[in-house]
Amino acid sequence: MRYISYLTLLLAFGMGCIVLMRYGFSRSNIWQTELLQYMHIAVCCCCMGWTWRRNAHVSVDILQTNHRLTERIGFCVFLLPMIATLLYVTIPFVLQSWQSLEGSREISGMGGVYLVKTLLLFMLLSLLFTGIIRLTQSERA
pLDDT band at 72 (very low <50, low <70, confident <90, very high): confident
The DSSP code for 29 is -
Provide the pLDDT confidence category of residue 50 given band limits of 50, 70 and 90: confident
| Domains contained in the chain, number | 1
Tell me the H-state helices in 54-79.
67-73
Residue range 48-77: mean pLDDT, rounded = 72
The average pLDDT across 62-79 equals 74
Coil vs helix vs strand at 123: helix
**Residue 116: which domain range?**
4-140
Which tens digit of pLDDT belongs to each residue from 79-88? Answer: 899 999 999 9
Total-model pTM: 0.79
Q: Does the pLDDT value for residue 57 go beyond 70?
A: no
**pLDDT, average across residues 70-75:** 79
Q: Which of 69-73, 109-113, 133-137 has the highest mean pLDDT?
A: 109-113
Q: CA angle 21-23-25, nearest 5°?
A: 50
